Amino acid sequence: MTTTASEADRAAAHFRFFTMEVLRTRRLGHSFLRVTFGGESLADFRSGGFDQSLSLFLPVGDAEHAELPSTDEDTWFGAWRAMPDEERPVMRSYTVRDQRRTDAGVDEVDIDFVLHGDASPASRWAGRAVTGRRIAAIGPAVAQNKSVRFQPPAGTGTFLMYADETALPAAAAILDRLPAGTAVKAWFEVPHADDRLTLHTAADADITWIVREKGTARADRVVEAVRATELPAADAPYAWLAGEAGTVRAVRRHLVQERSVDRRAVRFTGYWRLGATEEQLLAEAYAGQAPNEDPTSAL
């Protein structure tokens, strides 16, 4: 029997289920809502920082909480998939923007949600989040885990970063951790001028904000902004690109084909795709996987 990478990860219990409870919410900008979660199980939550992601399970319809058939790390995925469509909790990927233990000993996790309308399950859930509301999540139990995708090789020169609003929480968490003396060129694309959040970093970060304009093809504008930026010659850059899949692909193509960035030094992730729900993206991921293999690692 062959052991897949994701089976090996499960065996090592890199991830486990957590019940998180909304402690408070705070609006960060036009599109962003920070939800701070607590809950006793978070004492075992171990974010690896940077772009650490987790999966949330949202209730279907107007139900208060998602009912999962199993929270056993080895069997949940098959049991969840076997549920009828109309009962299966909705699974969505989000970023651990921050994790802390307060002076009072409370474990807290922040997630920054983009509010993009009431018709989509995760955006709707976040828009209605109130103190005390619970949510199930599968998240990191060890800090070294495969859901931290930002893995620059030793000797990296300049860091190149592209993020749209969905990946801005991850980009901000990466910037939080980059040390002084690190050269960063970043292009951050947001829907509104007041989504240009204040970001903190010790790195030497040159950030270009691209405020989306209605009717402007997003990929073209972003590539134009990257093309207009002078990149240091021959200093082994590492590129981290995340956001809408089509734009991410266009930026990657530009860096590899026009700017000669080594394709092995480009980490790119489509966080969502225009016109496709996460179910549709997962269905595409399932198509290439064994029936019980958890495809969330592909997200």
Ligand X SMILES: Cc1cc2nc3c(=O)[nH]c(=O)nc-3n(C[C@H](O)[C@H](O)[C@H](O)COP(=O)(O)OP(=O)(O)OC[C@H]3O[C@@H](n4cnc5c(N)ncnc54)[C@H](O)[C@@H]3O)c2cc1C
Which is nearer to ligand X, 17 or 125 (by Cβ)? 125
CB of 140 to ligand X, least distance (A): 12
CB of 221 to ligand X, least distance (A): 16
Q: Judged by CB under 6 A, does residue 271 bind ligand X?
A: yes
Q: Judged by CB under 6 A, does residue 37 bind ligand X?
A: no
Which is nearer to ligand X, 166 or 182 (by Cβ)? 166
CB of 251 to ligand X, least distance (A): 16
Which is nearer to ligand X, 45 or 158 (by Cβ)? 45
Site for ligand X in 93-112 (CB under 6 A): 93-95, 112
Single out the segment in contact with ligand X by CB under 6 A; choices: 14-22, 59-67, 117-125, 209-217. 117-125
Q: Judged by CB under 6 A, does residue 276 bind ligand X?
A: yes
Out of 5, 63, 274, 290, the residue judged to bind ligand X by CB under 6 A: 274
Q: Judged by CB under 6 A, does residue 120 bind ligand X?
A: yes
Which is nearer to ligand X, 196 or 273 (by Cβ)? 273
CA geometry: angle 37, 42, 45, nearest 5 deg? 115
Q: Judged by CB under 6 A, does residue 283 bind ligand X?
A: no
Single out the segment in contact with ligand X by CB under 6 A; choices: 61-69, 116-124, 131-139, 201-209. 116-124
Q: Judged by CB under 6 A, does residue 123 bind ligand X?
A: yes
Single out the segment in contact with ligand X by CB under 6 A; choices: 1-9, 86-94, 193-201, 286-294. 86-94
Single out the segment in contact with ligand X by CB under 6 A; choices: 2-10, 21-29, 65-73, 268-276. 268-276
- Cα–Cα distance, 157 to 128 (Å, whole number): 43
Q: What is the 3-state secondary structure (H, E, C) of the chain?
A: CCCCHHHHHHHCCCEEEEEEEEEEEEECCCCEEEEEEECHHHHHCCCCCCCCEEEEEECCCCCCCCCCCCCCCCCHHHHHHCCCCCCCCEEEEEECCEEEECCCCCEEEEEEEECCCCCCHHHHHHHCCCCCCEEEEEEECCCCCCCCCCCCCCCCCCEEEEECHHHHHHHHHHHHHCCCCCEEEEEEEECCHHHCCCCCCCCEEEEEEEECCCCCCHHHHHHHHHHCCCCCCCCCCEEEEEEEHHHHHHHHHHHHHHCCCCHHHEEEEEEEECCECHHHHHHHHHHCCCCCCCHHHHC
Query: Token digits for 51?
Result: 């772009």
Which is nearer to ligand X, 157 or 246 (by Cβ)? 246
Single out the segment in contact with ligand X by CB under 6 A; choices: 14-22, 89-97, 192-200, 214-222. 89-97
Site for ligand X in 150-189 (CB under 6 A): 166, 169
Q: Judged by CB under 6 A, does residue 122 bind ligand X?
A: yes
Closest CA to 52 of 125, 111, 134, 124: 111
Which is nearer to ligand X, 100 or 227 (by Cβ)? 100
Phi and psi at residue 184, in whole multiples of 5°?
-130, 135
- By rule CB under 6 A, what count of residues binds ligand X? 24
